[in-house]
Each structure stands twice: as C-alpha cells, then as structure tokens.
C-alpha cells in the first residue's frame, strides 16, 4: 500500500468520525423532541417542559428549542450526517482491509517463492 493510499483511507475514516460525531451531537435535540415545529408531545423535551412550567426566555430549554426551530438541528438532517459518517468510516476501513490483504498476499507469495527457489 502506498503512503498516499494509506492517507486517503485514513482520511475517509477521520472524515467519517467527524461527520458521525457532529451528526450525533446535532441530532440530540431532535431525538429528545425539540423540532422545527415545536416540542413533540410525549417526548423527553415535553417531560422537561412539564417540570419547568413556564419556560423563561434565555433559559437553556428556550435556547435549545429556538435552535431547533430556526436551524437544521430541528430536522432529521443531523441523523443523515451521522449516517454519512458511518458510511465513510466503513468505506475507509474496507479500503484499509483490502490493502492490508493485498500486502499479506504479496508477502505470502514472496515466502512461497523463496521456499521453492531456495530448497
């Protein structure tokens, strides 16, 4: 495996980790029930809101709901980003495994050649 191939493979894995992490962190409010159309009935966010009562402006709850209502955080987009991250990690790992297997085959062929030619 050439060093440029190894860098590309590791790049896929690193980009995948970044996308997965960013997607997972960004998806947390959506998964908890903070969406672009408001708090989802029966969700974790609804339970929190029920214990708070009147939500004060500027509170963490209000800020998270505001972000969910005005950005992609309140949509399924972060989940898609996390899925892309998983795909990139898988593809990078696949490329690394294939190049490793080629290296092992090459090494085995060299061992077979040396054994046959030097008996």
| 42 has a pLDDT exceeding 80 | yes
Q: What span, in angstroms and rounded, lies between the C-alpha atoms of 83 and 29?
A: 17
- 71 — pLDDT class (breaks 50, 70, 90): confident
Segment 63-87 mean pLDDT: 85
Residues 6+ apart with CB under 8 A from 20: 82, 85, 86, 89
Segment 36-57 mean pLDDT: 93
| 1 has a pLDDT exceeding 70 | no
pLDDT at 118: 56
Segment 58-87 mean pLDDT: 87
Instruction: Using a cut of 0.75, tell me whether the model's pTM lies above it.
Output: no
pLDDT at 114: 55
Segment 59-77 mean pLDDT: 87
- Is the model more confident about 64 or about 75? 64
């Amino acid at each position: 495996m050439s060093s440029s191939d190894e860098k590309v493979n590791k790049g896929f894995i690193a980009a995948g980790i970044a996308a997965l992490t960013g997607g997972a962190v960004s998806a947390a409010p959506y998964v908890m029930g903070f969406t672009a159309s408001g708090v989802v009935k029966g969700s974790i966010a609804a339970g929190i809101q029920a214990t708070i009562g009147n939500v004060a402006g500027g509170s963490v709850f209000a800020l998270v709901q505001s972000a969910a209502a005005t950005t992609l955080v309140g949509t399924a987009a972060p989940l898609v980003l996390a899925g892309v991250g998983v795909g990139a990690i898988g593809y990078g790992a696949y490329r690394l495994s294939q190049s490793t297997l080629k290296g092992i085959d090459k090494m085995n062929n060299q061992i077979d050649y040396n054994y046959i030619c030097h008996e």
